[in-house]
Amino acid sequence: MRAYIFPGQGSQFTGMAKDIYESNEKARAILDQANDILGFKITEIMFNGTADELKQTKVTQPAIFIHSVALALSNETLKPNMVAGHSLGEFSALVANKTLSYPDALQLVYKRAMAMQRACEINPSTMAAILGLDDKVVEEICASIDEVVVAANYNCLGQLVISGSNKGIEIACEKLKAAGAKRALPLPVGGAFHSPLMEPAREELAAAIESTTFSKPVCPVYQNVNALPATEVSEIKKNLIAQLTAPVRWTQSVQHMVKDGAKTFVECGPGKVLQGLVKKIAPEVEAMGL
């Protein structure tokens, strides 16, 4: 069985999607359509923008989504048995399994990006990568701190990202290093994604999701909030709304997909981060790019 997986924020690069724009007519139409939907030439920034321009929230999230979907929808062999996406990538996965239309999903992704930006301005906050500690130890130390700081991304065993207030992250990094973490590395991000500090964005996105048409998917999506397969529209919507303030359970998602029969994981989108994580989580399966 084949699982298609879709990357999240951080996998952008200058020149992204330019090759498929120039070589694939269907992909070109998908990319051009994005400019019309968003009302600005995002493809120009994707192809020629600087790293700083690509880092703008209103650009980063839609750019990664557009690249991923253009790759997936322009590929004639795309017949997923299951799909999953890392954070933002869940929206790409929901287009690949026909739960969301491309235009509707792009509008949601743009609204999500802007809502997250506003939430970051309300609560200045950050994230940090913790390497070489057991998940339970990280969770316990975060819970012991009198600040907002939580486990946010379960990327693979021994690699967990925490999220919270600037002070909370600073205290947590010191305590986690003292507890034996190999690294406790603050990340260059604009806010505490997948933490309670994203509540204003969650409320804003919830309204947009509720007013968007969702269809019955052609295959299950393994969602970030519980790592379990979903095929019911009501459940998919509920989990997608919860996603902004809940952790990304990527390790558990991959484990469940393997248990349910996934033998090959195909990453659709810029970069190779998810392929690397899959190989660490489940060395026995095949992982490749589209």
- pLDDT at res. 56: 82
List Cα–Cα distances, 233 to 44, 94, 115, 244, in angstroms.
35, 11, 23, 18
What are the tokens at 28?
């070109």
Residue 14, both tokens: 């200058």
Total tally of structural domains belonging to the chain: 2
Same domain as 200, residue 71: yes
Asked whether the beta carbons of 90 and 240 are under 8 A apart, the reply is yes
Are 242 and 265 within one domain?
yes
Whether 18 and 53 share a structural domain: yes
Q: Which two tokens stand for residue 288?
A: 């490749």
Provide mean pLDDT across the span 50-75: 93
The 8-class DSSP code of residue 4 comes to: E
Q: For residue range 230-252, list pLDDT tens digits in order.
A: 999 999 999 999 999 999 999 99
Q: Are residues 117 and 158 in the same domain?
A: no
- Asked if 9 and 143 sit in the same domain, the reply is no
Can you give the pLDDT at residue 123? 85
In the block, residue with structure tokens 């195909």: 266
Report yes or no: 262 and 82 within 8 Å, Cβ to Cβ: yes
pLDDT of residue 250: 98
Judge whether 194 counts as a catalytic residue.
yes
Residue 191 domain-assigned (yes or no):
no
What's the mean pLDDT in 124-152?
Answer: 96
- By the 8 A CB rule, do 102 and 22 touch? no
Question: Are 137 and 180 in the same domain?
Answer: yes
Percent over 70 (pLDDT), the chain: 100
Task: Phi first, then psi: give them for residue 52, nearest 5 degrees.
Answer: -65, -40
CB 247 within 8 A of CB 223: no
Q: Both 44 and 61 in a single domain?
A: yes
- Judge if 129 and 202 occupy the same domain: no
User: Is the predicted pLDDT of residue 90 greater than 90, yes or no?
Assistant: yes
Q: What is the 3-state secondary structure (H, E, C) of 169-200?
A: HHHHHHHHHHCCCCEEEECCCCCCCCCHHHHH
Model pLDDT, residue 77: 86
What is the pTM assigned to this prediction?
Answer: 0.95
Residues 233 and 114 in one domain: yes
User: Within 13 Å of residue 289, how many CA atoms lie on the same side as its CB?
Assistant: 9
Write down the mean pLDDT value for the chain: 96
Same domain for 99 and 209? yes
Q: Mark whether 256 is an active-site residue.
A: no
Phi, psi of 164 (to 5 degrees): 170, -165
Residue 243 domain-assigned?
Answer: yes
CA nearest neighbour of 273 among 132, 165, 129, 62: 129
150-208 pLDDT, tens digit each: 999 999 999 999 999 999 999 999 999 999 999 999 998 888 999 999 999 999 999 99
In the set 194, 195, 253, 256, the catalytic residue is 194
Do 171 and 211 lie in one domain? The reply is no
Task: Identify whether residues 112 and 162 lie together within a single domain.
Answer: no
The residue annotated as part of the active site, out of 68, 74, 87, 195, is 87
Mean pLDDT of 98-113: 97
Give the amino acid at 35: N
